[in-house]
Amino acid sequence: MQTVLTPQRDSGDELSALKKKQQATWSAGDYSVVGVTLQIVGESLCEAVDLHSGEHVLDIAAGNGNATLAAARRFTEVTSTDYVPELLERAKARATAEGLTVNFQVADAEALDFPDGTFDVALSTFGIMFTADHDRAAQEMQRVVRKGGRMGMANWTPESFIGQLFKTIGRHVPPPAGARSPALWGTRAWLDEHFGTQANDIKTTSKTFVFRYRSPEHWLEVFRTWYGPTLKAFAALDAEKAKALETDILKLIEQFNRAGDGTMVVPSEYLEIVITKA
């Protein structure tokens, strides 16, 4: 499938309105209920970027801290950021429980309050891809990393289960004005366009995260209750339209589900990305 790449030229007012909607979406429910199940992705990413103890690491759009904790376990100096304070509190509680030292700071991925070249490594697991202004977020990530430093990301691909989930939701609840598909961050062409001019190397590896739940209905209950984008989508629909969305999501799960015992075992592809800054 060919991805058409176009610059994001939306007005400032439009992007500002989109950001407010997105922040409200990620503040809804409790992403940490879902996020904690994705911990293995943060561990894998920290290995992929080859973290060294003592390095200064920034976790962008950290959520409840999967990459943050993985980096701290490797004795790095970690700053964990997100624009949803409640999620950082969840991450802080996890770090405290493990006795890990982390600097937590509320920050917007599109306007990071750090000088140029502050960090040896910047990370993001399923976070920065959901920013309102993709171009600005990519620029900021590169700006705060020193020359020769690394950027590591885990981003869902358009063809993945999660990529198709957002496409399914979009058929029932049209995305707000100015929104671009977060799954663009999971395509090599988009990465080359936005990071290639400042990179010595861009390495992408197709990886799979497997959603394991008691049943498709159990997954839907969890995501409908706690995962902001799904929660907000259902809240925007009346009962009849909500039922139609539920039906389509369960059909999507059926397409991906490799379990034959009534449980849910659904693989979802993502790109594990390691970029070395020139």
Does residue 98 sit within a domain? yes
Residue pLDDT, tens place only, 204-233: 999 999 999 999 999 999 999 999 999 999
Does residue 53 sit within a domain? yes
Does residue 219 sit within a domain? no
* Percent above pLDDT 70 for the chain: 96
Residue pLDDT, tens place only, 154-163: 999 999 999 9
Examine the pLDDT at 1 and tell me if it is beyond 60: no
How would you class 12 by CB atoms within 10 Å of its CB: exposed for 0-12, middle for 13-18, buried for 19 or more? exposed
Residue pLDDT, tens place only, 231-274: 999 999 999 999 999 999 999 999 999 999 999 999 999 999 99
Residue pLDDT, tens place only, 51-87: 999 999 999 999 999 999 999 999 999 999 999 999 9
Q: What is the pTM of this model?
A: 0.93
What's 42's domain CATH number?
3.40.50.150
Does residue 126 sit within a domain? yes
What is residue 152's predicted lDDT score, i.e. its pLDDT? 98
Number of independent structural domains in the chain: 1
Does residue 181 sit within a domain? yes
Does residue 104 sit within a domain? yes
Does residue 136 sit within a domain? yes
What is residue 10's predicted lDDT score, i.e. its pLDDT? 53
Does residue 249 sit within a domain? no
Strands, DSSP E only, in 97-217? Answer: 103-106, 119-125, 145-156, 199-213
Examine the pLDDT at 7 and tell me if it is beyond 60: no
C-alpha–C-alpha distance, residues 163 and 171, integer Å: 13
* Percent above pLDDT 90 for the chain: 87
Residue 216 DSSP symbol: H
Examine the pLDDT at 8 and tell me if it is beyond 70: no
Domain span at residue 110?
A: 13-157+176-210+268-277
* H or E stretch at 196: none
